[in-house]
């Protein structure tokens, strides 16, 4: 059995619904898959003594899950006052409209097309609901609209799909760009090093106890993959599918379509930097 403390980011263990930090409670969506891992983590955030809560990523359009989120908040003595989205992929955002109907809460996101209400989310914005403070951190790369949310009181960051609780994420080319993604990882590393963030509350997978370790692992992984792709091209593998078959031969073939998106992003990055 692998010691979780020895894995990148020190994952806490099994993914379960329930409290993760003093201010964060997870409600796991019933949508497990190779891409979503155990399912989407829907986060309920609130100050312990506040009757108001923020929900991050209500998840897929699954009536049972959405009502379970509302019921969980009510059992905690909370009313959902605001819904936030880390990005617009359906496993995170498809249920937002229905969730807004159930709760009466506005939906804020970077992408105006996903918002329900007048206000959006921009870099550096501080969201305050019932005394709960969340700082908006732009983390594009997985998608152009990806955001993370810094929860200073718990020394935590909610990362959506930018950092997962297990494995690594894809750069969803052409919307996602590798250069942006690397910059976002460095931004998250700064949160860990300079702002004392140690806990990652991801969009999928277990909670991570070592935020800096997780970021360093992701940066090293990306550097390794980029070098492998560059070498593959030098050896005559010119198309994205060929590169995937060569570089990702050890990866489950069901994940190759996602890997191809990342490879396309890497090829674009290498071309832009004059490396191929």
User: What pTM does this model have?
Assistant: 0.95
Tokens 């991050």 appear where?
56
* 77 domain residue, yes or no: yes
Apex 253 CA angle, 248 and 254, nearest 5: 130
pLDDT average per 10 residues of sequence, the chain (276 residues): 72 95 98 96 98 98 98 98 98 98 97 91 93 98 98 98 97 97 98 98 98 98 97 95 94 93 97 94
* 238 domain residue, yes or no: no
User: Residue 187: which CATH number?
Assistant: 3.60.15.10
* 124 domain residue, yes or no: yes
Q: Tell me, what's the pLDDT at 5? A: 63
* 33 domain residue, yes or no: yes
* 206 domain residue, yes or no: yes
* 245 domain residue, yes or no: no
Q: Number of structural domains, the chain?
A: 1
* 7 domain residue, yes or no: no
Q: How many Å is the maximal CA-CA distance in the chain?
A: 62
* 229 domain residue, yes or no: no
Please report, for the chain, how many H helices and E strands are present, in that order: 7, 11
Residue span of the structural domain in which 33 resides? 18-211
Q: Tell me, what's the pLDDT at 119? A: 84
């Amino acid at each position: 059995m692998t010691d979780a403390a020895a894995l990148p980011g020190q994952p806490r263990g099994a993914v379960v619904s329930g409290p993760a930090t003093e201010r964060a409670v997870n409600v796991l969506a019933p949508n497990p898959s190779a891409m979503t891992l155990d399912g989407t983590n829907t986060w309920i955030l609130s100050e312990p003594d506040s009757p108001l809560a923020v929900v991050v990523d209500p998840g897929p359009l699954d009536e049972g899950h959405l009502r379970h989120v509302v019921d969980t908040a009510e059992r905690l003595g909370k009313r959902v006052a605001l819904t936030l989205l880390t990005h617009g992929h359906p496993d995170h955002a498809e249920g937002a409209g229905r969730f807004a109907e159930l709760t009466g809460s506005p939906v804020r996101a970077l992408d105006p097309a996903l918002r329900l209400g007048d206000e959006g989310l921009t870099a550096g914005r501080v969201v305050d609901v019932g005394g709960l403070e969340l700082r908006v951190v732009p983390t594009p790369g997985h998608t152009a609209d990806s955001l993370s949310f810094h929860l200073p009181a718990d020394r935590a960051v909610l990362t959506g799909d930018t950092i997962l609780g297990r494995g690594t994420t894809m750069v969803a080319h052409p919307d996602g760009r590798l250069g942006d993604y690397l910059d976002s990882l460095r931004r998250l590393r700064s949160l860990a090093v300079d702002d004392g963030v140690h806990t990652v509350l991801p969009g999928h997978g277990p909670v991570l106890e070592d935020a800096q370790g997780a970021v360093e692992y992701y940066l090293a992984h990306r550097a390794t993959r980029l070098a492998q792709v560059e070498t593959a091209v030098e050896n005559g593998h010119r198309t994205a599918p060929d590169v995937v078959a060569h570089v990702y031969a050890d990866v489950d073939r069901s994940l190759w379509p996602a890997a191809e998106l990342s490879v396309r992003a890497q090829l674009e990055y290498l071309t832009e930097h004059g490396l191929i």
